Amino acid sequence: MPEVLVQVLPHGQGLPLPTYATPGAAGADVCAAVEVDVVVPPGGRVAIPTGLVVAVPEGFELQVRPRSGLALRHGVTVANAPGTVDSDYRGEVKVILVNLGNTPFVVRRGDRIAQLVLAPVVRAQFTQAEELSATARGGGGFGSTGV
């Protein structure tokens, strides 16, 4: 099991480290480290601090994903889902929440706001080509294969 080292910043003290809610959970819940309640208005987005700095192992990324309950009940999701924390990033992990609902959403200290998934990264070599091989699908996209 890969290890992710976590530094807790002063405003994150007293909050739990990312935690898996069940033995089969792929994502570890991460909490808001806000010092005062933050309101995310309908249509608005806010970067919510977690109070955590992480050292992701080389060859991995930490994906920041929405929590399904927030999305279903409140229309709140992660704006850049999935967000990526690269292995060489050493700043605070923040979660960009967007409110797609009709009412303001209040984020309180300790609220579980997202989940973190450690995932392997495969780097590609991008090579320019004059032509690409043909496929049956061709350039069809955006629903071209049916509903």
Distance CA 9, CA 76 (A): 25
Q: What is the pTM of this model?
A: 0.91
Q: What is the DSSP letter of 80?
A: T
Residue 143, pLDDT score:
78
Q: What is the pLDDT of residues 56-73, one digit of tens each?
A: 999 999 999 999 999 999
Do strands 83-85 and 60-65 pair parallel, antiparallel, or not at all (unpaired)? Answer: antiparallel
Residue stretches of the chain with pLDDT short of 70: none
Q: What is the pLDDT of residues 36-50, one digit of tens each?
A: 999 999 999 999 999
Distance CA 115, CA 29 (A): 4
Residue 8, pLDDT score:
98
Query: Is CATH 3.40.228.10 the classification given to domain 5-120?
Result: no
Residue 146, pLDDT score:
72
Q: What is the DSSP letter of 70?
A: H
Residue 141, pLDDT score:
81
Distance CA 6, CA 4 (A): 6
List Cα–Cα distances, 116 to 30, 124, 130, 146, in angstroms.
Answer: 7, 24, 40, 32
Domain boundaries, the chain: 5-120
